[in-house]
Amino acid sequence: MSSPDLRPPIDPLDNTSDDPTQPTTLVLGGHDFTSVTDTVASIAENPNPPRAWYIAFAVTASMTAMLFAMIAYLIVTGVGVWGLNNPVGWGWAIVNFVFWVGIGHAGTLISAILFLLRQRWRTSINRFAEAMTIFAVICAGIFPAIHVGRIWVVWWLFPIPNYQLVWPNFRSPLLWDVFAVGTYMTVSLLFWYTGMVPDLATLRDRAQTKTRAIIFGILALGWRGSHRHWHRYEKAYLILAGLATPLVLSVHSVVSFDFAVAQLPGWHTTIFPPYFVAGAIFSGFSMVGTLLVPARKWFGLKEFITLHHLENMNKIILATGSMVGFAYATEFFIAWYGGNPAESFAFVNRAFGPYAWAYWIMVSCNVIAPQFFWSKRVRTNTVAMWILYIFVNIGMWFERFVITVTSLSRDFLPSSWGYYSPTIVDILTFVGSFGLFFMLVLLFIRFLPMLAMAEVKTVMPVAHVSGESKPIGDYHGDIHILPKAPKEAT
C-alpha cells in the first residue's frame, strides 16, 4: 500500500489526490456555465462530424445489417443453423442475452443508486452510461425473442392467453424475464429522458435551423427552466431514482433465476441473484469505461470526465470484481461442502473438463485482471485501465458461457454428454449485435448531449454559495440556496 502523500498534484488535469483536506474539483479547466454548454452542445450541433464518425458509422451499420441478415436466415431456416445440440439446448443466444443485459446495469446504477448515495461525480458520466444501458438492453432483447424458434408466436411470452385460451406459465422464470427486462427498459428510458429534458431545451434554444428547433422543441416538452419546472423535475428525478434502484437488483436477479431455479448442478445455487447483480455492475462499468476513455479524448471532454471519475469507476470495478470472485469461491466451497457428488463434479468439470479453457479465461479476466486496480497508478492510467476493461468484457461473456454450456453439456447422465461449438451463424449474430450497439452509441453522440450539462453545472465550484466545490448536502439541494444571499462564514 502506498504511503499517504499530501503534496498537491502537478498535472492540472490530475484531480486524483486523496488529501481529505482539499476539495475534489469535479470540473477542471476553469470552466464557467457558458463554456460547459458550448463544449458539450457543440459536439451534438456540429453539422459536419469528422470523417472518422462516418467511417465508424458505415462499419457499424454494415454489422447491424449483418445481424438482421443472420436473424432472417435463422427465421427462414430454423434454429438448426445454430450450434445447439442435445444436451446443449441453450447456447450463445442465452449467453449473449445475459451478457448484454449485464452491461445494461451500469447506467441505472450510476443514475439511480449513485444519486441516492449523493455521489456527485456521477454527473459527468451518467448520461453516457444511461444511453449505453438502453442500447445494451435493446441488444439483449433481441436474443430471447429470436431464440424461441417459432418467432411468429413470440407474443405467447406476454401475459395474455393465446388463441386456445392457454395462459403463459406464470411459474416460468422466462416469463418473469419478460416482466423484469420490460420494466427495466421502460424505467431506464424514462429516467434517461427525464434527465435530458433541460439539456434538450438548451439544444432547442441554441438551434440554428428550423428543423432542429422544432424537433428539440417537441422533445423538450415546453421546458422553460422556471423555478417550478426545476422543482417538479427534481421531485420526478428523485422518485424515478427510488423506483429504479430496486430494478437494478431485480433484473439480473430474475435473469439468474433462469438458471438457479433449475436442479442442474452448477445452476442451482442460492447465491446466484446477488452474484449476478454484482457481475452485471462489474461488466457494465467496464463497458462504460471502454467507451468513455476514448470518447473523452476524441471529443475533448477530459476536463469533465476527469481522472477522478475514471478512478472511482475503477474502484467500483475492483469492488464488484472481487464480489464476483467471492461468489465463485463460495460456490466452489459449497459444492464440496454440500457433499452432493453431481454438484462437486460440475465444478471440477468446469475447471478441468473439456471447457477448462473457457473457465480459466473467465477466472483470469474476472478475478485476477481487476486486482491490478488495487494500484493507484493503474487506476489513473488510461491505457492500463482500458486494457483491463477489455479483459473484463471478455471475462464476463465467458462467465455466462461457462455457466450455460458446461452444466448442460455434462449433466447427470454420462451417456447423454456432449460438446457444444458455435456455428458461423452464432458468431456473426453476436458480432452483429456489437454493430447495433456501437451504431446506436454513434447516433447518440451525434445528436444528443453526451454529458448532462444541467447536472454537471450543479457540481461546479461556481454553483456554490461559498465558491467552494464542496457543497453542503445534496448537489441538487444546493440550487435552492443559490439565489439567496451568501451566508456568513462559519
Partner 1 sequence: MSQPHVMPSLEGEKLTLDEVGPRILIGGSILGVVGFAAAIAIGVGRNDHLASLGWSYLLNFAYFLSLSLGALFFVAVGHLTRATWNVVSRRIGEVVAVNLVLMAVMAIPLMLMASRVFPWASGLTHAPEELLEHKRPFLNLPFFYLRWVVYFAIWAGYAVWFWRQSVAQDRSGDPRITMRMESRAGLSLLLFALSVNFASFDLLMSLDPTWFSTIFGPYYFAAGVVGFFSLLTLLTFFLQSQGRLTRAIHVEHYHDYGKLMFAFVFFWAYLAFSQYMLIWYANIPEETAWLLRREENGWGWIGLVLVFGHFLVPFAGLLSRFTKRLRATLFLWALWILVMHWIDLYWVVMPEIRPLDPGLDSLDLLCFLGFAGFYAAALSRWAGAHSLLPERDPRLQDALAFENA
Interacting residue with partner 1 among 14, 45, 205, 474 (CB under 8 A): 474
* 414-473 residues near partner 1, rule: CB under 8 A: 470, 472-473
Q: Which is nearer to partner 1, 212 or 268 (CB)?
A: 268
Cα distances from 468 to residues 24, 25, 28, 306, 459, in angstroms, run 10, 9, 13, 18, 10
| Site for partner 1 contains 106 (CB under 8 A) | no
What is the per-residue binding string for partner 1 in 368-407, x denoting contact by CB under 8 A? Answer: ------x---------------------------------
Q: For partner 1, which is the closer residue by CB, 19 or 32?
A: 19
- The minimum distance between CB 403 and partner 1, in angstroms, equals 14
Site string for partner 1, 35-74 (x = CB under 8 A): ----------------------------------------
In the complex, least distance from residue 148 CB atom to partner 1, rounded to whole angstroms: 22
Is 331 a binding residue for partner 1 by CB under 8 A? The answer is yes
Question: For partner 1, which residue of 7, 263, 357, 377 counts as binding (CB under 8 A)?
Answer: 263
Contact pick of 340, 375, 416, 421 for partner 1 (by CB under 8 A)? 340
Q: Does 79 contact partner 1 by CB under 8 A?
A: no
Q: Is 235 in the site for partner 1 (CB under 8 A)?
A: no
Q: In the bound complex, what is the minimum distance in angstroms from residue 271's beta carbon to partner 1?
A: 4
Residue by residue, DSSP assigns 121-135 as GGGGTHHHHHHHHHH
Q: How many residues at the interface with partner 1, by CB under 8 A?
A: 53
List residues binding partner 1 (CB under 8 A): 1-2, 4, 6, 18-21, 116-118, 234, 246, 249, 253, 257, 260-263, 268-274, 318, 322-323, 326-327, 329-331, 334, 337-340, 374, 470, 472-474, 476-478, 480-481, 484, 487, 490
